[in-house]
A and B are shown apart, each in its own frame.
Chain A
Amino acid sequence: MLMPVATNLVLRRLSRPYLSHLFLLVQNYCSSVVQEVGSAESRSAELSTVKKKQKFPFAKNLFLGKFDHDVLTYPEILDKERLQTLNELVAPIEKFFCNVDSKKIDATGEIPLQTLDQLKAFGLFGQQVPEKYGGLGLNTTEYARLSEVTSIDGSIAVTLAAHEAIGLKGIIIAGNENQKCRYLPRLATGEWIAAFCLTEAGSGSDAASIQTRAKLSEDKKTWILNGRKIWISNGGLANLFTVFAKTEVFDHVGEKHDVVTAFIVERDFGGVTSGKPEDKLGIRGSNTCEVSFENTPVPAENVLGEVGDGFKVAMNILNSGRFSMGSSAAGVLKKLIGLAAEHAITRQQFGKPLTEFELIQEKFAKITCLTYAMESMAYLTAGMLDTYENPDCAVEAAIVKVFSSEGCWYGVSECLQVLGGIGYMKDYPYERILRDARIAMIFEGTNEILRIFIALMGIQHAGIELQETVRKLRNPLMNPNFVIYKLWQRRRQSSDSPKLNLGLDGYLHPSLQVSATLLEYCVLRLQYGVEIVLARHGQTIIDQQMMLKRLADVAIDIYAMTAVLGRASRSYCIGLQNSAEEINLAVTFCQDAHSRVKRNILDVDNGPIINNDLNYKKVAKQVFKSHGYFAQHPLARNY
């Protein structure tokens, strides 16, 4: 059973109204050697269970209008014992974070060594490193729970994530036994810090275009690495870098090709220099700098995965790291909602507290629904990653990242707005958290790239199955019967009332029946949208980014609705505190999401003239033609 996190929030903010009495007896003050307590056995060994096979990739299947009902059963990953241990672990870390001086970290641009040392002592530098290599061996769900706490300070969150979500992740995913034994123990304790080196001056979102090169020496024992990487998180602190570089390979006809290869590079290999820390908008305490490699010798055994697998390794690392942004963002917002609510309750204007003004109520309702959705999606996705063997959750993870990073930005900004001028002041945490949150929409794949990724992965998945349909639809003259049949089938879809045949309400508590129908509508509308764009654009759909964005947004909303409904239904059925209000949260969220989906699919259906896409393109074209704003100043001249 998972702890109701919403309840946790309430508890955390309580000043301990009563405490159990704890007293101590210290026995025998003699100096004899103390007997060591038997060390804990490997937890992963005790708890290792055979993982299920994933039936279908859930989010991708949505593009076919197929819905895996199992996903509506909200996951309970941890057994009682492990759940209790997790909560025991969270408590002291939460307490520690209460005392972290985020304002000072932001002002000085540095995390104090003492703070880093305590983070290391907690084992937070090796959360997902298996226990046999000295890590905590946490599963995805547990990692997500801790991320909620560690994200309270943006700089610390990014330092930890750069170290383990990307910096050392490659070794866990693609490393061989030797590499794991050699590096993971040092990394897990934080004795060594890791960094991930992909981005270059000329290569941001387009990761395949990197210029850094590695050449194999004559004796084939050493690679010589040359190149410059920019904006490397932990770049100045790291002892170990996961570096991506171009290498040459010869194909079977002897022609030269460039491929990307991943390397594990120790700072001490030589030729590694890091620049001065970048002066950033937010996450100012996280070290970001340029890292240069000049004739750095890398032993051949330090290739991560196979030569030429680098791009795959990089994508696997990034895809597996993104999901945790959901719980991190939720953690931040849950804290801020509490602070802002406290203000709204006590602050009086026009003779009444802010809580009595509708526009303030609306803000809190929207932020709370969003946070609930983020949290639900984060633990649903973590649950999938923990449940299935080799899960295909890259789309889900991207959905969580896009939704949470934008939700966090919006939510923090609205909390700041509740405080008005006070929120703008540096004495309060809002402006700092707003600055810190901004990066989430940019790094680990920009939200624009990720939206295209979500839509294209889905369409590609659907396309295979729809190939025949689309071929026929695109050639109506040759397939008149098929097209007429399809039109008959679509007559309800084109009037925006698809026949609901998925039966989703049977998998949820009856009080969520209306929302279940809305979800069903959305799933079927996505399928319709996919068929339309495929029939209309065929292969060229890859370039129709405005259309793809709409489909991605629909998929995001559907996934969020699924998570929210499954969770609320479960909370209500097992009787969590405030679960009746949780049902209301879910209903509210689904109604909003449904309106967005309806609008998006109508826009897809209507095409670029009616939905304004064409006009957007025209305006943008003129901007680029004029190298900027093109309308003449209204005071330029008189008639």
Chain B
Amino acid sequence: MIIRVKPDKTGVVTDGVKHSMNPFDEIAVEEAVRLKEKKIAQEIVAVSCGPAQSQETLRTALAMGVDRGIHVEISGTEYDTLQPIHVSKILAKLAEDEKADIIIVGKQAIDDDANQTAQMTAALLDWPQGTFASKIEKLNGELHVIREIDGGLETIKVKLPAVVSADLRLNEPRYATLPNIMKAKKKPLKKVSPKDLGVDTTARIEVLSVEDPPTRQAGVILADVDQLIIKLKEGGHVQ
């Protein structure tokens, strides 16, 4: 199946599409479960903001070992224009309500690649942040977050509470198994609305147009470099 742009150019067609968890978020879930298995964390709460189908995603997280879920229901046009700023406000509010010590998020969603939620959430809460974590350790009441940077590895120390975002090599997420899927059905899943949390999710952006990428033009085989230069000049690619 091919991704198609809606006729009114407001987005892509998503009818009948199966929702699944963002791969970076999956890594975040796995890390949280491992923290709990190492008895560093006591309880894990998974949060998903989106339409009713988000609950399926939360169930997957519960089956991976999360203790309870909070579904922040946002649907229709509001969901279409939901931005990291809104999600950050929701997370910040929930973190305060739940008295969370660590917020772990995926470094970015793979649909919009925004890569803003961790940073904004930390700013809103005025907590330290450890983004793009490829390893997390808890030493002397602090978190040591190792990040892959251009020059090598960077280790930063953050005091708790803190916000961490998961990079690709942090871990390899486990698969949910039937016994755990069955256990997950008994775990609590709470539904709230952004209004309950006092977060305004009114759109801050307006989508003007979503376009298909231009179709690729057929190539031609040229005899020699001179021909190539002529063609490039004709096309205005070189001067």
Instruction: Name the contact of B36 in the complex, choosing from A14, A19, A25, A34 (C-beta under 8 A).
Output: A34
A572 lies within 8 A of chain B by Cβ: no
- Is A40 a contact partner of B16 (Cβ separation < 8 A)? no
Residues of chain B within 8 A (CB-CB) of A538 are none
Q: What is the distance, in angstroms, from A488's C-beta to the closest C-beta of chain B?
A: 57
Q: Does B152 contact A (CB under 8 A)?
A: no
> Provided the pairs A20-B57, A29-B42 are in contact, do residues A37 and B21 lie with their beta carbons within 8 angstroms?
no
Contacts across chains A and B counted by CB atoms under 8 Å: 199
Q: Using Cβ atoms and an 8 Å threshold, which residues of chain A touch B187?
A: 37
A28 touches B175 (CB 8 A): no
Asked if B58 and A22 make an inter-chain contact with CB atoms under 8 angstroms apart, the answer reads yes
Inter-chain CA distance A20–B29, complex, in Å, is: 14
Q: Classify chain A: how many residues form its interface, as a range.
A: 35 or more
Given contacts A17-B14, A20-B48, A26-B44, contact A33 B39 (CB under 8 A): yes
Q: State whether the Cβ of B231 lies closer than 8 Å to any Cβ in chain A.
A: no
- The reply on B178 being an interface residue by CB < 8 A is yes
Given contacts A26-B101, A37-B183, A577-B16, contact A122 B25 (CB under 8 A): no
Given A11-B16, A19-B19, A26-B41, A40-B182 contact (CB < 8 Å): yes
Q: Does A478 sit within 8 A of B, measured CB to CB? A: no
User: How near does chain A come to B70, taking the closest CB pair, in angstroms?
Assistant: 8
Establish whether residues B117 and A23, one from each chain, have CB atoms under 8 Å apart when the complex forms. yes
A27: CB under 8 A from chain B?
Answer: yes
Chain B residues closer than 8 Å to A25, beta-carbon distance: 44-47, 91, 94-95, 98, 100, 102-103
Question: In this assembly, does B123 line the interface, its C-beta being within 8 Å of a C-beta of chain A?
Answer: no
Tell me the smallest distance from the CB of A352 to a CB of chain B, in Å.
Answer: 13
**Does B105 have its Cβ within 8 Å of any Cβ on chain A?**
yes
With both beta carbons as reference points, the residue of chain A lying nearest to B165 in the complex is identified as A23
Q: Are B178 and A89 in contact, CB atoms less than 8 angstroms apart?
A: yes
Q: How far is the CA of A7 from the CA of B53 in the complex (A)?
A: 17
Given A10-B1, A14-B1, A14-B17: A23 and B47 within 8 A (CB)? Answer: yes
Question: B177 near A123 (CB under 8 angstroms)?
Answer: yes
Main secondary structure of the interface of B (DSSP, over half): mixed
Q: Would you give the shortest CB distance from A571 to chain B, in whole angstroms?
A: 14
> A353 an interface residue at 8 Å Cβ cutoff?
no
Task: Pick the 9 closest A-B CB pairs, nearest first.
Answer: A40-B182, A28-B42, A20-B50, A25-B100, A22-B25, A92-B175, A26-B102, A20-B54, A11-B18
Residue-by-residue, is B109-142 near A (CB-CB < 8 Å gives 1, otherwise 0)?
A: 1110000010000000000000000000010000
Assess whether A95 is in contact with B91, with CB atoms less than 8 Å apart: no
- What are 5 A-B interface contacts by the 8 Å CB criterion? A22-B25, A23-B104, A27-B43, A27-B99, A89-B176
Query: With the chains together, A3 CA to B223 CA distance in Å?
Result: 56
A22 adjacent to B160 (CB under 8 Å): no
Q: Is the C-beta of A622 less than 8 angstroms from some C-beta in chain B?
A: no
Report Cα–Cα, A30/B36, bound state, in Å.
9
Q: Which of B29, B111, B182 contacts A85 (CB 8 A)?
A: B182
Cβ distance A346 to chain B, nearest Cβ, rounded Å: 11
Tell me the chain A residues, 59-107 only, with Cβ under 8 Å from chain B: 85, 88-89, 91-93, 95-96
Judged by a CB distance under 8 angstroms, whether A636 is at the interface is no
Please give, as numbers and ranges, the residues of chain A lying within 8 Å of B32 by CB-CB distance: 24, 26
Name the A residues within 8 Å of B58 (CB-CB): 22
What chain B residues lie within 8 Å of A13 (beta carbons)? 1
